[in-house]
Amino acid sequence: MNAAWIFPGQGAQYVGMAASLLESHATVRRLYDAARERTGVDFATLSTQGPKEELVKTSNTQPAIYLHSVALALLLRERGLRPAAVAGHSLGEYSALASAGWLDPLDGLALVRRRGELMYQAGLDWAGSMAAVIGAEPELVIRLCAQVVAEGEVVQAANFNCPGQIAISGSLAGVERASVLLKENGVRLVKRLDVSGAFHSPLMEAAREGLLRELAQLVLRPGEAPLYCNVSGARVEDPEEIRSLLGRQLTETVRWQTAMENLLADGVGEVWELGPGRVLSGLLQRIAPTARSRAADKAAELDALLEGEPS
Protein backbone atom coordinates (compact mmCIF):
# COMPACT_ATOMS: atom_id res chain seq x y z
CA MET A 1 0.00 0.00 0.00
CA ASN A 2 1.27 3.46 -0.89
CA ALA A 3 1.06 4.85 2.65
CA ALA A 4 3.43 7.17 4.48
CA TRP A 5 3.98 6.63 8.21
CA ILE A 6 4.20 9.70 10.45
CA PHE A 7 5.09 9.86 14.14
CA PRO A 8 4.18 12.29 16.95
CA GLY A 9 6.51 14.28 19.15
CA GLN A 10 6.63 15.38 22.76
CA GLY A 11 3.25 16.32 24.18
CA ALA A 12 1.43 13.25 22.83
CA GLN A 13 2.12 11.19 25.96
CA TYR A 14 -0.55 10.06 28.43
CA VAL A 15 -0.66 7.62 31.33
CA GLY A 16 -1.96 4.32 29.93
CA MET A 17 -0.19 4.63 26.59
CA ALA A 18 0.86 1.33 24.97
CA ALA A 19 -1.15 -0.69 27.50
CA SER A 20 -3.28 -2.50 24.92
CA LEU A 21 -0.25 -3.15 22.71
CA LEU A 22 1.68 -4.70 25.59
CA GLU A 23 -1.31 -6.82 26.55
CA SER A 24 -1.99 -8.05 23.02
CA HIS A 25 1.40 -8.51 21.36
CA ALA A 26 4.45 -10.49 22.45
CA THR A 27 6.57 -8.51 19.99
CA VAL A 28 5.79 -5.33 21.93
CA ARG A 29 6.56 -6.98 25.27
CA ARG A 30 9.92 -8.11 23.92
CA LEU A 31 10.69 -4.59 22.71
CA TYR A 32 9.94 -3.09 26.13
CA ASP A 33 11.94 -5.84 27.89
CA ALA A 34 14.92 -5.05 25.66
CA ALA A 35 14.43 -1.34 26.36
CA ARG A 36 14.58 -2.02 30.11
CA GLU A 37 17.77 -4.03 29.68
CA ARG A 38 19.33 -1.28 27.54
CA THR A 39 18.37 1.70 29.72
CA GLY A 40 17.59 0.32 33.18
CA VAL A 41 14.18 2.01 33.02
CA ASP A 42 10.89 0.09 33.07
CA PHE A 43 9.14 2.09 30.36
CA ALA A 44 6.30 -0.45 30.19
CA THR A 45 5.22 0.35 33.75
CA LEU A 46 5.96 4.06 33.42
CA SER A 47 3.91 4.33 30.22
CA THR A 48 0.95 2.29 31.36
CA GLN A 49 0.76 3.27 35.05
CA GLY A 50 2.75 6.47 35.43
CA PRO A 51 2.98 8.35 37.70
CA LYS A 52 2.22 11.28 35.42
CA GLU A 53 4.82 13.54 37.05
CA GLU A 54 7.53 11.04 36.07
CA LEU A 55 6.16 10.35 32.59
CA VAL A 56 6.10 14.05 31.67
CA LYS A 57 9.80 14.56 32.45
CA THR A 58 11.53 15.19 29.12
CA SER A 59 14.09 12.45 29.71
CA ASN A 60 11.24 9.93 30.20
CA THR A 61 8.62 11.36 27.84
CA GLN A 62 10.75 11.17 24.73
CA PRO A 63 11.76 7.49 25.00
CA ALA A 64 8.23 6.53 26.10
CA ILE A 65 6.65 8.08 23.01
CA TYR A 66 9.43 6.66 20.83
CA LEU A 67 8.86 3.11 22.10
CA HIS A 68 5.09 3.32 21.65
CA SER A 69 5.53 4.59 18.09
CA VAL A 70 8.20 2.07 17.12
CA ALA A 71 6.15 -0.77 18.60
CA LEU A 72 3.30 0.03 16.20
CA ALA A 73 5.71 0.19 13.26
CA LEU A 74 7.25 -3.17 14.21
CA LEU A 75 3.80 -4.76 14.25
CA LEU A 76 3.09 -3.44 10.78
CA ARG A 77 6.44 -4.71 9.56
CA GLU A 78 5.64 -8.15 11.02
CA ARG A 79 2.64 -8.19 8.69
CA GLY A 80 4.92 -7.50 5.73
CA LEU A 81 4.06 -3.80 5.41
CA ARG A 82 6.63 -1.10 4.67
CA PRO A 83 6.18 2.68 4.50
CA ALA A 84 6.28 4.56 1.20
CA ALA A 85 7.80 7.48 3.10
CA VAL A 86 8.27 8.55 6.73
CA ALA A 87 8.24 11.75 8.76
CA GLY A 88 8.09 12.61 12.43
CA HIS A 89 7.44 15.78 14.38
CA SER A 90 10.61 16.72 16.31
CA LEU A 91 11.21 13.64 18.53
CA GLY A 92 9.06 11.69 16.07
CA GLU A 93 11.78 11.99 13.46
CA TYR A 94 13.72 9.33 15.38
CA SER A 95 10.69 7.02 15.44
CA ALA A 96 10.37 7.56 11.69
CA LEU A 97 13.98 6.62 11.06
CA ALA A 98 13.75 3.45 13.17
CA SER A 99 10.50 2.43 11.45
CA ALA A 100 12.08 2.63 7.99
CA GLY A 101 15.31 0.83 8.83
CA TRP A 102 17.63 3.83 8.99
CA LEU A 103 18.68 3.00 12.53
CA ASP A 104 18.43 0.14 14.99
CA PRO A 105 15.41 0.60 17.29
CA LEU A 106 17.42 0.16 20.49
CA ASP A 107 20.20 2.45 19.29
CA GLY A 108 17.50 4.98 18.54
CA LEU A 109 16.05 4.53 22.02
CA ALA A 110 19.39 5.22 23.69
CA LEU A 111 19.88 8.29 21.52
CA VAL A 112 16.38 9.61 22.21
CA ARG A 113 16.85 9.16 25.95
CA ARG A 114 20.13 11.07 25.83
CA ARG A 115 18.49 13.75 23.69
CA GLY A 116 15.80 14.21 26.32
CA GLU A 117 18.39 14.50 29.09
CA LEU A 118 20.36 17.09 27.14
CA MET A 119 17.27 19.14 26.33
CA TYR A 120 16.13 19.08 29.95
CA GLN A 121 19.55 20.22 31.17
CA ALA A 122 19.66 23.00 28.59
CA GLY A 123 16.29 24.16 29.88
CA LEU A 124 17.71 24.35 33.40
CA ASP A 125 20.83 26.20 32.29
CA TRP A 126 19.06 28.66 29.99
CA ALA A 127 15.56 29.51 31.19
CA GLY A 128 13.20 29.79 28.27
CA SER A 129 9.65 29.14 27.18
CA MET A 130 7.41 28.55 24.20
CA ALA A 131 4.02 29.85 23.12
CA ALA A 132 1.39 28.73 20.65
CA VAL A 133 0.37 31.39 18.15
CA ILE A 134 -3.08 30.83 16.65
CA GLY A 135 -4.38 32.67 13.61
CA ALA A 136 -1.20 34.47 12.50
CA GLU A 137 0.49 34.55 9.11
CA PRO A 138 4.04 33.14 9.09
CA GLU A 139 5.47 36.38 7.68
CA LEU A 140 4.10 38.38 10.63
CA VAL A 141 5.54 35.96 13.19
CA ILE A 142 8.94 35.98 11.51
CA ARG A 143 8.99 39.78 11.29
CA LEU A 144 7.99 40.39 14.90
CA CYS A 145 10.40 37.78 16.23
CA ALA A 146 13.18 39.48 14.25
CA GLN A 147 12.19 42.79 15.87
CA VAL A 148 12.53 41.26 19.33
CA VAL A 149 15.90 39.75 18.43
CA ALA A 150 17.06 43.20 17.27
CA GLU A 151 16.08 44.46 20.73
CA GLY A 152 18.51 41.97 22.28
CA GLU A 153 16.33 39.02 23.25
CA VAL A 154 16.12 35.45 21.90
CA VAL A 155 12.96 34.27 20.15
CA GLN A 156 12.09 32.58 16.87
CA ALA A 157 9.42 30.53 15.18
CA ALA A 158 9.90 27.01 16.54
CA ASN A 159 7.18 25.15 14.62
CA PHE A 160 5.17 25.87 11.49
CA ASN A 161 2.61 23.15 12.18
CA CYS A 162 -0.29 23.96 9.87
CA PRO A 163 -2.10 27.03 8.53
CA GLY A 164 -2.89 29.26 11.48
CA GLN A 165 -0.86 27.28 14.03
CA ILE A 166 2.71 28.34 14.81
CA ALA A 167 4.84 28.01 17.94
CA ILE A 168 7.50 30.48 19.07
CA SER A 169 10.41 29.69 21.37
CA GLY A 170 13.13 31.61 23.17
CA SER A 171 14.08 33.40 26.36
CA LEU A 172 11.37 34.21 28.90
CA ALA A 173 11.58 37.90 28.07
CA GLY A 174 11.82 37.23 24.35
CA VAL A 175 8.68 35.08 24.21
CA GLU A 176 6.80 37.56 26.39
CA ARG A 177 7.81 40.54 24.24
CA ALA A 178 6.93 38.70 21.02
CA SER A 179 3.57 37.68 22.51
CA VAL A 180 2.74 41.30 23.31
CA LEU A 181 3.68 42.43 19.80
CA LEU A 182 1.64 39.66 18.19
CA LYS A 183 -1.46 40.63 20.17
CA GLU A 184 -0.92 44.30 19.32
CA ASN A 185 -0.88 43.26 15.67
CA GLY A 186 -4.24 41.56 15.87
CA VAL A 187 -3.33 37.93 16.56
CA ARG A 188 -6.31 36.45 18.36
CA LEU A 189 -4.56 33.94 20.60
CA VAL A 190 -1.03 33.58 21.97
CA LYS A 191 -0.82 30.95 24.70
CA ARG A 192 2.20 30.01 26.81
CA LEU A 193 3.05 26.30 26.59
CA ASP A 194 3.93 24.11 29.55
CA VAL A 195 7.41 22.99 28.50
CA SER A 196 10.74 22.58 30.30
CA GLY A 197 12.80 24.65 27.86
CA ALA A 198 12.96 26.73 24.72
CA PHE A 199 12.93 23.84 22.25
CA HIS A 200 13.92 24.53 18.63
CA SER A 201 15.63 27.79 19.52
CA PRO A 202 19.23 28.97 19.99
CA LEU A 203 18.86 28.28 23.74
CA MET A 204 19.20 24.57 22.88
CA GLU A 205 22.74 25.08 21.55
CA ALA A 206 24.38 23.23 24.47
CA ALA A 207 22.01 20.31 23.93
CA ARG A 208 22.83 20.36 20.21
CA GLU A 209 26.54 20.17 20.92
CA GLY A 210 26.04 17.21 23.22
CA LEU A 211 23.76 15.51 20.73
CA LEU A 212 26.30 15.98 17.94
CA ARG A 213 28.80 13.92 19.96
CA GLU A 214 26.23 11.14 20.28
CA LEU A 215 25.27 11.36 16.61
CA ALA A 216 28.90 11.00 15.55
CA GLN A 217 28.84 7.48 17.04
CA LEU A 218 25.44 6.51 15.65
CA VAL A 219 25.24 3.84 12.97
CA LEU A 220 22.97 5.11 10.21
CA ARG A 221 22.32 2.88 7.22
CA PRO A 222 20.34 3.50 4.03
CA GLY A 223 16.68 3.13 4.89
CA GLU A 224 13.79 1.53 3.04
CA ALA A 225 11.82 4.77 2.61
CA PRO A 226 12.72 8.45 2.28
CA LEU A 227 12.49 10.83 5.22
CA TYR A 228 10.69 14.17 4.93
CA CYS A 229 12.77 16.14 7.38
CA ASN A 230 11.86 18.77 9.96
CA VAL A 231 14.54 21.35 9.17
CA SER A 232 13.60 22.02 5.54
CA GLY A 233 10.55 19.84 4.95
CA ALA A 234 12.41 18.28 2.02
CA ARG A 235 12.77 14.62 1.04
CA VAL A 236 16.09 13.19 2.26
CA GLU A 237 17.69 9.85 1.44
CA ASP A 238 21.37 10.26 2.42
CA PRO A 239 22.43 8.94 5.86
CA GLU A 240 25.07 11.62 6.40
CA GLU A 241 22.64 14.39 5.52
CA ILE A 242 20.17 12.93 7.99
CA ARG A 243 22.86 12.86 10.70
CA SER A 244 23.48 16.57 10.13
CA LEU A 245 19.77 17.42 10.09
CA LEU A 246 19.14 15.64 13.40
CA GLY A 247 21.69 17.92 15.03
CA ARG A 248 20.31 21.05 13.43
CA GLN A 249 16.77 20.15 14.43
CA LEU A 250 17.32 21.07 18.10
CA THR A 251 17.99 24.75 17.39
CA GLU A 252 16.13 25.30 14.11
CA THR A 253 12.48 25.60 13.13
CA VAL A 254 10.35 22.50 12.56
CA ARG A 255 8.69 23.00 9.16
CA TRP A 256 6.01 20.36 9.54
CA GLN A 257 3.54 21.95 7.16
CA THR A 258 6.16 22.06 4.40
CA ALA A 259 7.12 18.42 5.02
CA MET A 260 3.51 17.26 4.70
CA GLU A 261 2.91 19.37 1.60
CA ASN A 262 6.00 17.91 -0.07
CA LEU A 263 5.14 14.35 0.96
CA LEU A 264 1.66 14.64 -0.54
CA ALA A 265 2.93 16.38 -3.67
CA ASP A 266 5.21 13.41 -4.29
CA GLY A 267 2.18 11.16 -4.69
CA VAL A 268 1.72 9.39 -1.36
CA GLY A 269 -1.77 7.92 -1.39
CA GLU A 270 -2.50 7.74 2.33
CA VAL A 271 -0.90 8.85 5.61
CA TRP A 272 -0.88 6.70 8.74
CA GLU A 273 -0.12 8.29 12.11
CA LEU A 274 1.52 5.78 14.44
CA GLY A 275 1.90 6.58 18.13
CA PRO A 276 0.00 8.08 21.04
CA GLY A 277 -2.82 10.46 20.19
CA ARG A 278 -3.99 11.98 16.92
CA VAL A 279 -2.29 15.37 16.93
CA LEU A 280 -0.63 14.96 13.56
CA SER A 281 -3.80 13.68 11.89
CA GLY A 282 -5.53 16.85 13.03
CA LEU A 283 -2.74 19.00 11.64
CA LEU A 284 -2.86 17.13 8.34
CA GLN A 285 -6.55 17.90 7.93
CA ARG A 286 -5.72 21.58 8.31
CA ILE A 287 -2.84 21.33 5.82
CA ALA A 288 -4.62 19.21 3.20
CA PRO A 289 -8.31 18.68 3.96
CA THR A 290 -8.73 16.11 1.19
CA ALA A 291 -5.74 13.97 2.21
CA ARG A 292 -6.54 10.40 3.22
CA SER A 293 -5.27 9.69 6.72
CA ARG A 294 -5.76 7.18 9.50
CA ALA A 295 -4.28 6.81 12.96
CA ALA A 296 -3.30 3.90 15.20
CA ASP A 297 -2.57 4.30 18.90
CA LYS A 298 -4.20 1.31 20.60
CA ALA A 299 -4.31 -2.35 19.55
CA ALA A 300 -7.89 -2.15 18.26
CA GLU A 301 -7.01 0.85 16.09
CA LEU A 302 -4.04 -1.01 14.64
CA ASP A 303 -6.31 -3.96 13.81
CA ALA A 304 -8.78 -1.62 12.12
CA LEU A 305 -5.99 -0.04 10.12
CA LEU A 306 -4.74 -3.42 8.95
CA GLU A 307 -8.26 -4.40 7.95
CA GLY A 308 -8.74 -1.18 6.02
CA GLU A 309 -11.49 0.11 8.30
CA PRO A 310 -11.83 3.79 9.30
CA SER A 311 -9.88 4.46 12.49
Q: Does pLDDT of 169 surpass 60?
A: yes
Residue 310 has pLDDT above 60, yes or no: no
CATH code for the domain of 161? 3.30.70.250
Q: Please check whether residues 165 and 256 belong to one and the same domain.
A: no
pLDDT score of 299 more than 90: yes
Answer yes or no: do 101 and 226 share one domain. yes
Residue 311 covered by a domain: no
Instruction: Say if residue 12 is in the same domain as residue 136.
Output: no
Q: What would the mean pLDDT of 73-79 be, rounded to a whole number?
A: 96
Q: Is residue 263 domain-resident?
A: yes
Question: What is residue 244's predicted lDDT score, i.e. its pLDDT?
Answer: 97
Mean pLDDT for 128-132 is 97
**Domain-located, residue 217:** yes
Q: Residue 114: inside a domain, yes or no?
A: yes
Confidence of residue 196 (pLDDT cuts 50, 70, 90): confident
113 and 260 assigned to the same domain:
yes
Q: Which of 196, 212, 239 is the last residue in one of the domains?
A: 196
| 210 and 187 assigned to the same domain | no
* 118 plus 145 within the same structural domain: no
Residues 174 and 289 in one domain: no
- The phi, psi pair for 307, rounded to 5°, reads -90, 0
Average of per-residue pLDDT values in the chain: 96
Active-site choice (25, 68, 89, 200):
200
Domain boundary among 135, 166, 196: 196
Same-domain status, 186 and 77: no
Whether 200 is a known active-site residue: answer: yes
Any catalytic annotation for residue 90?
yes
Q: Tens of pLDDT along 257-276?
A: 999 999 999 999 899 999 99
Catalytic residue among 59, 90, 129, 281: 90
Predicted pLDDT at 1: 60
The answer to whether residue 44 sits within a structural domain is yes
21 shares its domain with 100: yes
**pTM: predicted TM-score of the whole model, two decimal places:** 0.96
Is 285 a member of any domain?
A: yes
Looking at the structure, tell me whether residues 213 and 165 fall in a common domain. Answer: no
Q: What is the domain extent for residue 149?
A: 127-196
For 88-126, the pLDDT digits (tens) are 999 999 999 999 999 999 999 999 999 999 999 999 999
93 and 44 part of one domain:
yes
**13-66 per-position pLDDT tens digit:** 999 999 999 999 999 999 999 999 999 999 999 999 999 999 999 999 999 999
Same-domain pairing of 189 and 210: no
Answer with the one of 151, 166, 196 that is the final residue of a domain. 196
CATH number of the domain at 113, please: 3.40.366.10
Residue 307 has pLDDT above 90, yes or no: no
Number of domains in the chain: 2
